[in-house]
Chains A and B, each alone.
Chain A
Amino acid sequence: MDFILSSLIFTPLLAALVILLLPVRLQKPIKAVTLLAALVQMGLAILLYFRFDGATVANGQTGYQFVQQLNWIGFSLGSLGRFQIDYFVGVDGVSISLVLLTGLVGVIGVISSWNITKNVKGYFLLYLLLLTSVMGCFLALDFFLFYLFFEFMLLPMYFLIGIWGGPKREYAAIKFFIYTLVGSLFILIVMIGLYTSVIDPAATAVEMGLLERGQTASTEVLTQVQQMLQRNQISNYNLVRTFSIPAMMEPANFIPDSLLHVLSGSVLWNLPLRFIAFLLLFAGFAIKVPSVPVHTWLPDAHVEAPTPISVLLAAILLKVGGYGLIRIVYPIFPDAGTYFSILVGGLGVLSIIYGAMNALAMKDLKKLIAYSSVSHMGFVLLGLASLTNEGVNGAIYMMFSHGIISAMLFLVVGVIYDRAHDRMIHNFRGLANAMPAYTAFVVIAFFASLGMPGFSGFISELLVLVGGFGAPEATGLLPRWLTVVAVFGLLLSAAYYLWALQRMFFGKFWIFPELRPNALITDLNTREYLMLVPLAVLALVFGIFPHLLLDKIGLTVNGYTEMVLLRGQEQLGLILSTLK
């Protein structure tokens, strides 16, 4: 039993409890405790990254590392028999990158929050709760546990935007809360459908007396239970229904009478119920991604959120959406995933193009960055929909790389906002003359984001596009023109970044006279260097040495795409055959 994952999740929570006990006026110690917790979390994440063995192939069912599984809630409910909810955490190639990212960005966020003066105790308390729930999301392998963290994330975020945000903060906070809650309700519907349909073969074997309690189940026993289940030979009272995500990935674990069974033939509005479940889940996570057309909460939330919260929102919280699609939606419903690949990929490309065009039109620098996030997250959808090795690798790489780069972008916006209390593009000109070092970092961030070779953004976009172009041959899922259109997104992102650069930073130094006096526009201070330098280095390192990450995730992704594709086509055939 390895406690590293639990330590990752609960270190911030522990620190939050410590802060709760500290009196309000001790602002320095409160900040110090938060920083310490974030540093410990980062240290553990880096340790985990080095200890993680990229050669162990996780194929969905097995291969998770540092697993910890404890019985949490078990009860029987009327005719539904027994239920099992576990505290079940583990890490594989998909989550390792995001765990690392969360650790890194968590520290940057604390440094960025150092100047918060309003209600310091409350702020850092909520910040730590947020870190706990995000980390929990990336590590949970039990759907209930995942859902708990997923929902709990909303609350600290709601208050962080609503209390510490900009002028329209209340509106933005409520919009964020309602949007994402509705998303998670879609997920809840499917979760209920799934856990009433899926059994845990090992626990069921124990109930049936095939196994001693506490004994590990051999593959033969599991297969025997699954075969008996499919032949309806197990009494309802011996079935143990589970929330385990790996168990849900296995079609043999579905109860034959359940509506989400591949062969159930259940149909609603002329669509197989499994397809509807997929669409609901997809909608739930797409809101979080966010994908056009359910992205409208993001610009509002970003514009109103304080800088560190924007950083966290863009760098980590959005990743939960993409992660959910990869971890939950596709492996559990591979059939619908392949069936609707054109929809997922299409929405991805739509996000890329529409997000970029919106960014082009924005007058507020922060809104521009927010729409660039929408655009870049579109690549995640496209890469995933292609279901090629390159595409899925690219999607995960994009999430990691966007985490680093968007953190930098929002910090850069924060720098100018701190000085001028304004971030309208047309209010600034020639900033390069007044703030040369700052301009250098802006250039790095912009170029990293638009996919300049040498930065991590390039690797991820390249991988996704290669995956997309290869998809027609390799998986037969996406039409080639879709990827061709996506390429224009690169062009557009170059356009909006370069244009912003030209308008704000080049030429003779001028700022809108009614803002602040020019003398206050000073270059970067130490604290800002402390945040921007590591991020720039990371963007470069992961741009020049992509194998640092790809070695850890590559084999998992190979197994993943193979499993999803194979099962997808097989199950899709079965579902379509039951319809005739």
Chain B
Amino acid sequence: MSDKLDAILAGAGSLLPELVLAGFFLLVVTLDLFKARSIKILLPWLALTGLFWVLVLQVLGGYTSGDTPFLDLLLSDGLARYGGILFSAAGIFTVLMALQHPRLEKLQEGRGEFYALVLILVLGLNLMAKSVNLLMVFLAIELVSIASYILTLTFKAEKRAVEAGLKYVLYGTFSAGVMLYGMSFFYGLTGTLAYTSESFVMGLYRADTLLVTVAAVLVLAGFFFKISAAPFHFWTPDVYQGAPMPVVALFSTGPKMAGILVILRFINNFTDADAFADVQLLLGVAVLATLAVGNFTALWQRTPRRLLAYSSVSHAGFLLMALLAFGTGYTSSVLFYLTVLLFMNFGIFLLLQVAEEKYGVYTLEGFSGLGRLQPYFGVMALVYLLSLTGLPPLAGFMGKLLIFSNVWEAYTLSANNMLLALLILGILLTGVALFYYIKIPYYLFFKGNQSHENLVISPSEKLLLALFALPLLVLFFKPDLLLGWIEQLLAQTL
């Protein structure tokens, strides 16, 4: 018993970011009990302080305890640390966006709740990235999910939000159940839940191939739900439609990034093409389905929120495709892509928030003429959308180029024609993607019959929009700055 206590005390240092987040969560919840307006106003800034603290902590490092996992559950390696940086940034961006959201700002009841949930969600994401035990993964995912369900329902009075929340809960609990079922298989097959350990892999080799495949499919179902990969993406458009915009932006980045990191650790068990051909094939099919569903369904969408929901599905497809490039050291490509995705998604969703709250634009047609009226808005939209499409000179292109390079290299190594097919499909779908992304600039600049009130975008919104756009340019022209740092982080603790 005292051994355990010693271990907890010794390892607690590695969980410093999580402890800080938990502390600030409690602080926000407690202060929310006070009715005074001055305290209510303080809450987002408090959350911001906490998130910023964690961000700095993770950027500077120093707290990391090394390469032994905490209680064999949580490993604070470079991967988790970089993930944590992304999550904290996502949390900060969410709060900043929420501060620009007029209706969220007016919200008195549940104001503290909102920011507390953002904190707890980021905490959950951190735990997901650090987990090296399937049960811990499950707990972390559930923590994120529960926070997500409530955040979706921020505006309880809106019918759409309630519908979205309900769908989200139903899908979420179902996929969680399926995942747990799969995990129990793995425990039975390998005798351990430490899914990054040697004994887990050895157990897989000994076990029946069919059972392993079934278990992998069940567990991946839960992961796919979090990153909204097909065929577990059905909640995405509804939730994106119903949740407040800052929350949507957070959903499109945070859980997706954490989910990818979990899958990245998990999938490393199945790199052997001979033993796990079926698992790899199923993954390939999932990538194919995700890319196809995301890109082709997006073509028919009439509202920007749903369009971006399907775009988010297609980005999940690209990320999964990268994970199939076994043996090519794809981690830094994936992390680079996730970083770009963070800026692109927050940029475009902030833009949509401005469009909705300021100009009352809820459909694609609604954008008509807005770009000519507000050139700044129009140009920013163009930057984000072209980056999402993956055109130079924006970082979205660089992200895709790196991933495609890994896939090509993997094809060279393995001569697996499935990879080539995915590569060609992925590249050609960029053409399809352009077709739906360009719809927004099309209305912004080419159509001019909608009358908009000529409201000016506030300086703080302009600043934020530029803040999200600048990295997209920098990361195109100097991707080596970030890639070098990522390599350094990964090398330190792995």
Contact = CB atoms under 8 A, between A and B. Distances in A.
A182 B428 contact: yes
B327 A77 contact: no
A155 B386 contact: yes
B329 A79 contact: yes
A174 B431 contact: no
B331 A148 contact: no
B483 A196 contact: no
A271 interface: no
Interface string B472-485: 00000111100110
Contact of A152 (B331, B393, B404, B417): B393
A77 B393 contact: no
Contacts, number: 101
B405 A74 contact: no
B484 A75 contact: yes
A79 B327 contact: yes
Contacts of B402: 77
B487 A76 contact: yes
Contact of B434 (A75, A80, A163, A181): A181
Contact of A74 (B331, B409, B480): B480
Contacts of B387: none
Interface in B448-488: 477-480, 483-484, 487
Interface stretch (B21-29, B53-61, B286-294, B419-427): B419-427
Contact of A77 (B333, B423, B445, B446): B333
Interface string A144-176: 000110011011000100110000011001100
Given A155-B386, A173-B446, A178-B431, A79 B409 contact: yes
Contact of A178 (B391, B397, B434, B479): B434
A189 B424 contact: yes
Contacts of B435: 174, 178
A182 B442 CA distance: 19
A148 to B, nearest CB: 5
A297 B420 CA distance: 29
Interface in A188-206: 188-189, 192-193, 195-196
A43 to B, nearest CB: 27
B489 to A, nearest CB: 14
B377 interface: no
A80 B391 contact: no
Contacts of B405: 77, 80, 192, 195-196
Question: How big is chain A's contact interface, by range?
Answer: 35 or more
A80 B329 contact: yes
A275 interface: no
A223 interface: no
A173 B411 CA distance: 36
Contact of B446 (A78, A80, A147, A170): A170
Nearest to B478: A73
B438 interface: yes
Contact of A78 (B330, B404, B424): B330
B328 interface: yes
Given A170-B442, A196-B405, A189 B423 contact: yes
B396 to A, nearest CB: 12
A569 interface: no
Given A192-B404, A196-B405, A162 B446 contact: yes
A185 interface: yes
Contacts of B479: 73, 75
A74 B484 CA distance: 9
Contacts of B412: 196, 257-259
B110 interface: no
Contact of B333 (A72, A78, A188): A78
B406 interface: yes
A323 interface: no
B406 A77 contact: yes
A181 B423 contact: no
Nearest to A195: B405
Contacts of A259: 411-412
A68 to B, nearest CB: 17
Contacts of A74: 480
A281 to B, nearest CB: 13
A119 interface: yes
A455 B427 CA distance: 44
A70 interface: no
A177 B446 CA distance: 14
B401 interface: yes
B318 to A, nearest CB: 14
Contacts of A519: none
B445 A148 contact: no
B408 A196 contact: yes
B401 A151 contact: no
Give the one of A148, A182, A192 with max B CB within 10 A: A192
A268 interface: yes
Contacts of A189: 423-424, 427
Nearest to B412: A259
B409 A80 contact: yes
A181 B327 contact: no
Contact of B480 (A75, A177, A196): A75
Interface in B260-310: none
Give the one of B372, B404, B477 with max A CB within 10 A: B404
Contacts of A80: 328-329, 405-406, 409
Give the one of B333, B386, B427 with max A CB within 10 A: B427
Nearest to B397: A151
B391 A151 contact: yes
A74 B479 CA distance: 9
A264 B305 CA distance: 47
Give the one of A74, A189, A257 with max B CB within 10 A: A189
A500 B446 CA distance: 34
Nearest to A255: B412
A76 B487 CA distance: 8
A521 B125 CA distance: 72
B409 A162 contact: no
A163 B408 contact: no
Contacts of A119: 372
Interface in A32-62: none
Given A185-B428, A185-B430, A188-B427, A79 B408 contact: no
Contacts of A78: 328-333, 406, 409
A178 to B, nearest CB: 6
B360 interface: no
Nearest to A73: B480
Nearest to A179: B431
A266 B416 CA distance: 12
Nearest to B407: A192
B408 A193 contact: yes
B438 A174 contact: yes
A449 B208 CA distance: 74
A258 B420 CA distance: 14
B392 interface: yes
A77 B393 CA distance: 20
Contacts of A147: 392
B409 A185 contact: no
Nearest to A80: B409
A73 B401 CA distance: 13
A361 to B, nearest CB: 31
Contacts of A170: 442, 446
A257 B333 CA distance: 22
Contacts of B487: 76
A259 B393 CA distance: 28
B431 A185 contact: yes
Given A79-B328, A159-B445, 20 more contacts: A72-B477, A74-B480, A76-B483, A76-B487, A77-B405, A78-B328, A78-B329, A78-B333, A78-B406, A78-B409, A148-B392, A148-B393, A151-B397, A152-B392, A155-B391, A174-B438, A181-B431, A185-B427, A192-B423, A196-B405
5 contacts: A73-B480, A78-B409, A154-B391, A163-B446, A259-B412
CB-CB nearest 10 A-B residue pairs: A78-B329, A75-B480, A75-B483, A182-B431, A79-B329, A148-B392, A151-B392, A78-B328, A79-B328, A162-B446
